[in-house]
Structure 1
Amino acid sequence: MSFIESHLGDARQRRRLITGIRESLRELGLHLSLLNRQVSSRLELKDIDVDCLDLIDRHGPISPSALARSAGLHPATLTGILDRLERGGWVARERDPSDRRAVLVQALRTRNSELYGLYAGMSTSMNQICDGYSDAELQVIADFLTRSAQAGRAAADDLTSG
């Protein structure tokens, strides 16, 4: 095999790997969406409600306007979501101690066990998968996923603003 043929084979193999990764990410996105839909249904919430609850849990306490930006939602749409989450005992709206005119949304921990229980199967599976990788491999995977999430966020922001 010539040097050129070897490099062509390497390039084809790399394209196949990248295509496989893209397909796997699409498959993962689909199945996580289906899982979230099942969780939402069990909790009698809308899918977007659970997405917002996750954002509040990870970034809260958070202002409604910052949450709307993070979720890519119109503030009026977010008001309805927050009303449902508050009625369900998932979040509380409180005055911002640094600016009494402002409101912050905070996740309430009283129902966390219910939520975490619905994700327990996936969490256990992820722990088992991660156990099969070295720390160095996990660092590469974590970097890839972080950068992929940032790319997804940038693409969503582009569609929102354009």
Structure 2
Amino acid sequence: MDSTLPGTTSAASAARRRRRLTHRIQDGLRDLSIQMALLNHQVGMHLDLRDADLECLDLISRHGPIGPTALAKRAGMHPATLTGVLDRLERGNWVVRTPNPTDRRSVLVQVVKERTAEIAHLFAAMNSAVDGICSDYDDAELVLIADFLLRTSRAGRLATDELADS
């Protein structure tokens, strides 16, 4: 007969199961990160953009118009490195730099809207696949998944900021 307290085995089993599930999620996030990096690399190659250029273009698209200093911080890049990225993006007609209306001494960077269709076309297969995956879930599950992804993204941003500040 087991000499452990009643419920101890079941609690330990539940804790192990919980750790295994958490590890599966962490492994899944790592796999997703790798696959998205590979997809982004392929998209960048089709557009003749470096990985860092495509990442910055996405950040500008999502958070722009944005100043170069704020963009460098978001991208985790040295400002001089970012200048080279912005120069390449501007030469390729992906972004424009315009005077900041609240401070004429600075500029804001924004995407050239007419070019976004080229990028969307290259991500269409992935977006379609995600639409199909989402159709397998009900609204409550999608809310839960969206919340998980948002919270995980925030955790990643905080971890990135901590590493950048150390």
Give 2:131's aligned residue: 127
Bigger Cα Rg: 2
State the number of aligned residues: 162
Alignment gaps of 5+ in structure 1:
none
Q: Within 1, Cα distance between the matches of 2:102 and 2:13?
A: 61
Q: Which residue number corresponds to residue 60 of structure 1?
A: 64
CA displacement, residues 96-118 of structure 1 (integer Å, 9 cap, x when unaligned): 11221110001011111111011
CA distance in 1, matches of 2:163, 2:144: 29
Q: Distance in 1 between matches of 2:55 and 2:31?
A: 19
Is residue 147 of structure 2 the alignment partner of residue 143 of structure 1? yes
TM-score w.r.t. structure 2 length?
0.94
Give the match for residue 38 of structure 1: 42
Shift >3 Å, 4+ stretches:
none
Q: Does 1:97 align with 2:97?
A: no
Structure-1 separation of matches of 2:144 and 2:61: 26
- The one-letter code of the counterpart of 1:21 is I
**2:85 equivalent to 1:81:** yes
Q: Indicate the residue corresponding to 1:17 in structure 2.
A: 21
> Over aligned residue pairs, what C-alpha RMSD do you find?
1.1
**1:120 positional shift:** 0.4
The percent identity for this pair of structures is 52
